[in-house]
A and B are shown apart, each in its own frame.
Chain A
């Protein structure tokens, strides 16, 4: 890593000389601002999970089986990009990226390399479901360049898995993890979901112990959230039990304690990692780094413009095949709005956020003082840090009280 000079802030990124900085270190976070990354969305899934509100096409839905047409469109879309900066991180998300054949994935990575060129030690990450994972697939993915995988394990309790509409077994999860390790992925990550109404304290504790016991390099844990327009939200409206926020808080705190004592350091509200294994792609987007995004419903952020792609598969394909970028909208943020976003998203990081123009008026405001007195926020090493990550949104809403006139 070279020493870089930040042109706009003048902030000098120190070169620590370590190859494995702590994931929650402020230096790492500040460095991440200068990383350039790309996101590729693969919408295909075997079926729709009841809680999922992403741009997804199930196999039995229109266009759900014509994956090659989509891959060609992706390659074409990548070729429409005007930028060609070197990529430091690439993330394949979905949907289920492994619904594509490794050759197709290789074709997309090739297109990215042609357009941008990919750094030698770039993080190339893929999301995968345990039931799709085989040693052969692991080897193929390694061979075409993937070095990070995150498994949607969600739980080790079959009852919870069924409630979540997941079809893999705890055994599938175990085998997938072992296969990824054998294939020598640099980072193997586990995704968990907590607070499903079917879950009990005991089942969660068992899930946490089994997950941590596998020795993952990285862990993401998300509270089950009822998103509008999902099967889950319809069920809740129909009287099905809703996730309980206090129970979710219990689950979170339990996990955090077990994870941290196993050497997984929390670096964002819902993410833990061993030193050297923080997700570069996510970290850079949280730090307002620039990223390109391709595929249905993908959002990117470049030169102060946030743009989003068409979500519907057929419309996306039509646009790309007609030779136009499949945009559904874009937005140039004002100076204060982008500063607000930087600050509010930065609050999610354990490293905290540099105060900028908003930090001081916020800390000095009535709400800022109250939050400080209550031990929710603090100023540490010149950064504003949320000490109680579960209250991050409450803090973020308080930040909204700061207006440009206060700065």
Chain B
């Protein structure tokens, strides 16, 4: 155990791509936690997906031994955090286990919305912040501007900003010393009853539930009987350990220390993130403040292409949930797509990652329907019901009104794009809030906007229209009544539930028209004419027809050609896009996500 005065617990927070993981790698390397030989890019990102996409999804804690220039030895616990809005709840969890944060900003990009959101979160948690400008080696770097912006945001001076290049190693020593000098040690009571915060938890096939804990008061030793206060679960601490980043068992975790805890518990629901661990006897009665459970913001239907895979999909979702408590799902049936699940996600990236993991790690072929947000329908009876899919929307006759979730959006953009951003937000029914200038060149804009308007392609549009310069962060706001309607799409005269969408009435026509046009392009010609219609209730608002396929035959077939022709047909068959039968119509998988790509 290390005396709390020699412990520093901190996170690195940064906008995506501003070099957080590389900086963590460099700290590990410089302190000898990992040899150069073992160094692979982004050591802390374990999942394949994380390394491929260059983002961190799950939080991670690593212990580093550091000998300061004073000769004193310190224990650093570096708690890595995800860098995407979808996972901001995990950021806030990690921050609660820390006393300080290293706030990283790219020297060529400056402060981004994500940086600000996380910085504010850290300030709210009472964390000490070390501002760092990274990537000063880049030709486009403007460290002075970035430092000035950081100082402006944090209310300090530009001199306090440490300039580093995680790539070349410049400034890393200065940063390590600053962690010792500027960040406070943990403040817990070593003599008090044990109180440890569970700040992350994941399921391991061999070990059961593995929890990351931060000891706040007292200490915990292996084989001690402990209690999870929220679930009132009494178990033994089978194993305690730390990561360096390789796993290392320890006998004891003292006040202020961070490590993992294995209890032999197999059900992840029994060990909640945010819970407090104390001793089973003579334990504390006062739990630490926990976390708010993250709420899913976006819902999408996931259906196996092959109906027989339904059970496999259920098992896969169950397994994913073991390490992702934010994932919620319930069985759903679609006339068009058969049996599947309506799955709730924290955001679009979360949705994409889950879908990719299901297809890649569980070898499932899936059709995902266009995402929808969680609406609320007020019935004439006075009852309010949740609407997570367009099919949930009750008939107009019993419907009084529909409410939709709004979010508060913060956008940071170079000043020259302010007009462009305003135009985009107005198209998306956004209400302008305040606007402040971070510097003469960059502004921070606040909006209130329906979540449904940003879940599809808002971020892409924002990036495209500002040539990649603007950044975005959002947080949930309240619900508000809106004039919303369900647009049904009829294929060959029958509504296809998987294609229906809830949109604002003013956009219904444009949406319906764009959707039927897109479907006409995506759905191949069939054996008969197939009308595609968009309708609100029984009123048709748009129509296209896919003309019947008339010719599909090679003109000539010679004796010598027969095998070649068979092989050609086999190739064509194999290359045929994956199709789903909807009534009598063959529909390619892409059609079900067509709405995602609509420009309306």
Instruction: Compute how far the CA of A360 lies from the CA of B318 in the bound complex, rounded to whole angstroms.
Output: 42
- Contact assessment for A225 and B554 in the assembled complex, using a CB-CB cutoff below 8 Å: yes
How many residues of A are in contact with the other chain, CB < 8 A? 48
- Contact assessment for B556 and A270 in the assembled complex, using a CB-CB cutoff below 8 Å: yes
Residues of chain A contacted by B565 (CB below 8 angstroms): 344-345
Q: Mark B496-513, 1 if CB is under 8 A from A, else 0.
A: 000000000000000000
- Contact assessment for B569 and A344 in the assembled complex, using a CB-CB cutoff below 8 Å: yes
- Contact assessment for B551 and A299 in the assembled complex, using a CB-CB cutoff below 8 Å: no
- Contact assessment for A390 and B552 in the assembled complex, using a CB-CB cutoff below 8 Å: yes
- CB proximity of B547 to chain A, nearest CB, Å: 8
- Contact assessment for A293 and B560 in the assembled complex, using a CB-CB cutoff below 8 Å: yes
Among A292-327, those with CB < 8 Å from B are 293, 298-301, 306, 308
- Contact assessment for A374 and B566 in the assembled complex, using a CB-CB cutoff below 8 Å: no
How many residues of B are in contact with the other chain, CB < 8 A? 27
- Contact assessment for B559 and A397 in the assembled complex, using a CB-CB cutoff below 8 Å: no
- Contact assessment for A39 and B559 in the assembled complex, using a CB-CB cutoff below 8 Å: yes
Known pairs A222-B556, A285-B559, A370-B584; A400 contacts B551 (CB<8 A): no
- The answer to the question of B233 belonging to the interface, with a C-beta cut-off of 8 Å to chain A, is no
- CB proximity of A351 to chain B, nearest CB, Å: 15
**Cβ 8 A contact of A391, one of B552, B562, B569:** B552
Q: Mark A324-361, 1 if CB is under 8 A from B, else 0.
A: 00000001010001001100110010000000000000
Among A276-295, those with CB < 8 Å from B are 281-282, 284-286, 291, 293
Residues of chain A contacted by B547 (CB below 8 angstroms): 246
Instruction: Compute how far the CA of A245 lies from the CA of B553 in the bound complex, rounded to whole angstroms.
Output: 10
- The answer to the question of B558 belonging to the interface, with a C-beta cut-off of 8 Å to chain A, is yes
- The answer to the question of B70 belonging to the interface, with a C-beta cut-off of 8 Å to chain A, is no
**Cβ 8 A contact of B563, one of A225, A333, A371, A397:** A333
Q: Mark B560-583, 1 if CB is under 8 A from A, else 0.
A: 111101100110110010000100
- Contact assessment for B555 and A393 in the assembled complex, using a CB-CB cutoff below 8 Å: no
Known pairs A222-B556, A270-B556; A376 contacts B527 (CB<8 A): yes
- Contact assessment for B527 and A391 in the assembled complex, using a CB-CB cutoff below 8 Å: yes
- The answer to the question of B140 belonging to the interface, with a C-beta cut-off of 8 Å to chain A, is no
- Contact assessment for B560 and A299 in the assembled complex, using a CB-CB cutoff below 8 Å: yes
Quick one: closest B residue to A285, CB to CB? B559
Known pairs A223-B555, A225-B554, A225-B555; A341 contacts B572 (CB<8 A): no
**Cβ 8 A contact of A249, one of B551, B559, B573:** B551
Quick one: closest A residue to B563, CB to CB? A306
- CB proximity of A166 to chain B, nearest CB, Å: 17
- The answer to the question of A396 belonging to the interface, with a C-beta cut-off of 8 Å to chain B, is yes
- Contact assessment for A393 and B562 in the assembled complex, using a CB-CB cutoff below 8 Å: no
Instruction: Compute how far the CA of A190 lies from the CA of B566 in the bound complex, rounded to whole angstroms.
Output: 27
- The answer to the question of B37 belonging to the interface, with a C-beta cut-off of 8 Å to chain A, is no
Residues of chain A contacted by B555 (CB below 8 angstroms): 222-223, 225, 269-270
- The answer to the question of A214 belonging to the interface, with a C-beta cut-off of 8 Å to chain B, is no
Instruction: Compute how far the CA of A308 lies from the CA of B561 in the bound complex, rounded to whole angstroms.
Output: 10
Residues of chain B contacted by A390 (CB below 8 angstroms): 550-553
- The answer to the question of A394 belonging to the interface, with a C-beta cut-off of 8 Å to chain B, is yes
Residues of chain A contacted by B556 (CB below 8 angstroms): 222, 225, 270
Quick one: closest A residue to B570, CB to CB? A400
| Central interface residue in A248, A281, A397, by most chain B CB within 10 Å | A397
- Contact assessment for A249 and B550 in the assembled complex, using a CB-CB cutoff below 8 Å: yes
- The answer to the question of A154 belonging to the interface, with a C-beta cut-off of 8 Å to chain B, is no
Quick one: closest B residue to A251, CB to CB? B551
Mostly, the A contact residues are helix
Residues of chain B contacted by A152 (CB below 8 angstroms): none
Instruction: Compute how far the CA of A376 lies from the CA of B584 in the bound complex, rounded to whole angstroms.
Output: 14
Among B114-169, those with CB < 8 Å from A are none
Quick one: closest B residue to A299, CB to CB? B560
- The answer to the question of B528 belonging to the interface, with a C-beta cut-off of 8 Å to chain A, is yes
Residues of chain B contacted by A392 (CB below 8 angstroms): 552-553
Known pairs A223-B551, A269-B557; A341 contacts B562 (CB<8 A): yes
- The answer to the question of A252 belonging to the interface, with a C-beta cut-off of 8 Å to chain B, is yes
- CB proximity of B194 to chain A, nearest CB, Å: 63
Quick one: closest B residue to A54, CB to CB? B558
Instruction: Compute how far the CA of A391 lies from the CA of B548 in the bound complex, rounded to whole angstroms.
Output: 11
| Central interface residue in A286, A331, A394, by most chain B CB within 10 Å | A394
Instruction: Compute how far the CA of A239 lies from the CA of B116 in the bound complex, rounded to whole angstroms.
Output: 52
- Contact assessment for B528 and A394 in the assembled complex, using a CB-CB cutoff below 8 Å: no
Quick one: closest A residue to B574, CB to CB? A400
- CB proximity of B41 to chain A, nearest CB, Å: 42
- Contact assessment for B566 and A393 in the assembled complex, using a CB-CB cutoff below 8 Å: no
| Central interface residue in B558, B561, B584, by most chain A CB within 10 Å | B558
Known pairs A293-B560, A374-B528, A397-B573; A269 contacts B553 (CB<8 A): yes
- The answer to the question of A170 belonging to the interface, with a C-beta cut-off of 8 Å to chain B, is no
Residues of chain B contacted by A396 (CB below 8 angstroms): 569
Quick one: closest B residue to A248, CB to CB? B551
| Central interface residue in A225, A345, A366, A371, by most chain B CB within 10 Å | A345
Residues of chain B contacted by A371 (CB below 8 angstroms): 527
Q: Mark A364-397, 1 if CB is under 8 A from B, else 0.
A: 0010001100101000000000000111111011
Q: Which residues of B approach A to under 8 Å, CB–CB?
A: 527-528, 547, 549-563, 565-566, 569-570, 572-573, 576, 581, 584
Q: Which residues of A approach B to under 8 Å, CB–CB?
A: 39, 222-223, 225, 245-246, 248-249, 252, 268-270, 281-282, 284-286, 291, 293, 298-301, 306, 308, 331, 333, 337, 340-341, 344-345, 348, 366, 370-371, 374, 376, 389-394, 396-397, 400-401
| 5 other A-B residue contacts (CB within 8 Å) besides A285-B560, A397-B576 | A223-B551, A245-B551, A345-B562, A348-B557, A401-B573
